[in-house]
Structure formats: C-alpha cells, structure tokens
C-alpha cells in the first residue's frame, strides 16, 4: 500500500499516522458536529474516522434538548415508534459526521474516513435478522463512508460474510477472544472471495475488527486481585500480571492478522484491490487510575491498525501522548503472560465470554433506556 502520510513529528496524531495507525474517535454528538468541533479535529489533528454505539447515543439523545426540534418535526409529520425515531435521529447524526469525514475518505482512496452505526442489539443472536438490519441501515444512510457495526459472536460471523459479499462495509464489534476474531476475519475473506467468484468488484469495501482492550484488564485484574487477597499463589508473580493481559491478548490477534495478510490466499485478493480488514483497538480508555491514561494508545501503535479513542482519551493523548516506537512484536512473551494467567487458575476464555455477554447486555440496556426516554419525548411533543 502506498504511503499515505509523510509527517513524522508534526504532532502526536501525525506520529500515529506516520506509523500506519489511524486515530478514530469513539464518540458522536450532534452539537459536536454542528459547532465545527469535529471538523477542527479532522483538519487540525488528522482525525480519520468515528465509531458510535447504543450507549453513546443513549447519553447524547437521552439528555439535553439538542434533538428536540427534530423530534417535534418528525412527530408532527407521522406516527412514529421510539425505535423508528431513534433510527431517524441516529441516521441524521451519522450522515452529518460522514459528510465532515468525506474529504478523509476521498483523500485516502477510501481507506479511512468512515463513521459507524450499529445494528439493533435486540437481534445479536439472530444472523438473518442482523443481515436484514445491516441492509436496511446501509440503505438508510446511503453514503459510501459508513460502516455497519455487527457483533463478533457466532451469528454475527455469518452476517459479516453475507454483508461483505453484498458490498456493505462492516465494523465487527465486541471482540475479546482470539477464536472469535479469527472467525470474523475468515468471514470477511470468504465474503470477498465470493464477490471475486461472482465477478464483482472488491476495491472499495472496507472493514475493521473492533478488538476490545481495557475491559479485559479490568476483569482480569479483578480476578488477579482476588487471588492475591486469598493468598493463592505467588503474590509477586500475580502482581506482575496486572495490566498485562489485555495488551498481550491484542498482540496475539495482531500476530494472526499478520499471518493471514501475508498468506498467498490474501495476496490473491489484494491483487484484486481488496483492503485488509484492519484491527481496531476499542475500549482504549484506561479505567484504572493507577495506569497511565493513554497507555492503551501508546502501547498498541502498529501498522494498518485503528485506535478509536473515547473523547477523554483523545484529548489526553493530544495533550501528553507519546509515540516513540511501534508496538513490540513480542508474541512469545505475550503467550507466556497468558500461560501464567492460566497457571494461576484464571481462564481467559471465561473472562472473554463474560465480557461479550456483558457487552451485549450493556448495549441492549442502553437501548431500553434510550427508547424509554424517546417514548416520553414523543408523548411530550404530541401534548
């Protein structure tokens, strides 16, 4: 792939870009877009994309009055359910953000500049419903630089393959486990291969796999702390594992990505113009106050990856982030960290399964809260 940026030390975000990593923002807010703040981030920081999720929309739509005028307008024109109202509001926000990021999309030959919107969390375990929802959202936004977020569970993998075959850009969300990541990468490749076999173009299809970071350490650290408190095992060795599991897990996902993208199978797709499904580091805000607040940015700088940062982490990185080198490819050391974790009786698969359940449940709960709020706002608009 051609070098997209030549800056090496013009700024903290430029330093990420120079090493092949795209800074994205895990945040969307109508006032942020309308005020010009988002455009400023694109033009001055080199922001390359955005992600959203039900929890983010619940916070932005559910409070304040930024959406009230549009809600009144919609309700005055037609009967609407809270679900329909949410989608119309969300699509408006996604389209506005995608328009701001369109110059990035065009300037990077469609490699970056994407904004993500998620399928309904109510259908996370229904592959066919997820495929239908992906098609509907893709048509609703109707812009080439949108990505449809699909969960990285087993039903999601089937939907990802079909959506890719249909030419829909996909952001695979809620990935914590190696096997789940490998399955969705395989699904993306199968979708592309089916397009090639059908004589369809693959050049402008983009995809990312959102591999979650800090949540892994939060849960793993809590289990390590219980072992320490109970006096189970070598205390010093247990303490040495704190804060190490998430990055080790991420590095092994990247190792698999390197193996796949260097394979003859992938090279055949690359020759057709296919873009790799990049790893996107998600949940990169540090949740432990004893850790450096930008550690999950600084430790995971790797070529052809994305780091989507919560707004606080983005601002902190702009203020004091340091990019001194690329992520260490110490895959053997990463495996050793996970081996030690297992030796102490902490099963990473149990950790990641719990995090996936909590993630799906959390997004569904955010949807319920948001829909309750929108139902109230509909009633108020009709009064």
Tell me, what DSSP letter sits at residue 326? P
Tokens 């990169």 appear where? Answer: 284
Determine how many CB atoms are found less than 10 A away from the CB of residue 343: 10
When computed from its CA atoms, the radius of gyration of the chain, rounded to whole angstroms, is 21
Determine how many CB atoms are found less than 10 A away from the CB of residue 312: 12
Distance CA 368, CA 83 (A): 10
Q: Measured in Å, how far apart are the chain's first and last C-alpha atoms?
A: 57
Distance of CA 196 to the CA centre of its chain: 27
- Short-list 355, 265, 343, 257, CA closest to 300: 257
Distance CA 373, CA 65 (A): 12
Write out the catalytic residue numbers: 149
Residue 324: burial class (beta carbons within 10 Å; 0-12, 13-18, 19+): exposed
CA angle 313, 214, 184 (to 5 degrees): 110
């Amino acid at each position: 792939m051609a070098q997209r940026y030549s800056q090496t030390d013009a700024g903290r975000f430029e330093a990420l870009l120079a090493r092949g990593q795209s800074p994205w923002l895990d945040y969307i807010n109508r006032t942020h877009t309308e005020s010009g703040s988002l455009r400023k981030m694109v033009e001055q920081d080199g922001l390359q994309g955005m992600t959203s999720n039900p929890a983010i929309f619940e916070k932005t739509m559910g409070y304040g009055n930024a959406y009230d005028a549009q809600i009144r307008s919609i309700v005055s024109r037609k009967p609407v359910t809270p679900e329909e109202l949410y989608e119309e509001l969300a699509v408006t926000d996604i389209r506005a953000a995608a328009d701001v990021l369109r110059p990035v999309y065009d300037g990077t030959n469609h490699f970056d500049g994407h904004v993500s919107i998620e399928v309904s969390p109510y259908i996370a375990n229904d592959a066919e419903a997820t495929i239908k929802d992906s098609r509907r959202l893709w048509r609703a936004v109707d812009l080439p630089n949108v990505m449809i977020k699909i969960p990285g569970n087993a039903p999601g993998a089937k939907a990802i393959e079909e959506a890719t075959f249909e030419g829909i850009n996909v952001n695979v969300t809620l990935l914590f486990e190696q096997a789940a990541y490998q399955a969705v990468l395989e699904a993306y490749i199968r979708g592309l291969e089916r397009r090639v076999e059908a004589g369809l173009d693959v050049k402008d299809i983009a995809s990312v796999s959102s591999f979650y970071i800090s949540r892994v350490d939060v849960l793993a650290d809590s289990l390590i702390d219980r072992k320490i408190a109970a006096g189970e095992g070598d205390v010093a060795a247990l303490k040495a594992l704190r804060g190490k599991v998430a990055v080790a897990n991420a590095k092994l996902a990247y190792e698999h990505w390197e193996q796949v993208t260097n394979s003859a199978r992938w090279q055949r797709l690359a020759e057709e113009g296919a873009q790799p499904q990049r790893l996107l580091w998600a949940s990169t805000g540090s949740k432990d106050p004893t850790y450096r607040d930008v550690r999950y940015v600084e430790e995971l700088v790797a070529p052809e990856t994305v780091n989507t940062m919560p707004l606080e982490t983005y601002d902190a990185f702009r203020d004091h982030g340091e990019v001194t080198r690329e992520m260490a490819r110490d895959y053997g050391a990463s495996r050793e960290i996970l081996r030690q974790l297992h030796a102490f009786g902490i099963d990473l698969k149990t950790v990641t399964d719990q995090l996936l359940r909590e993630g799906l449940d959390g997004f569904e709960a955010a949807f319920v809260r948001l829909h309750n709020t929108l139902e109230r706002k509909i009633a108020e608009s009709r009064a």
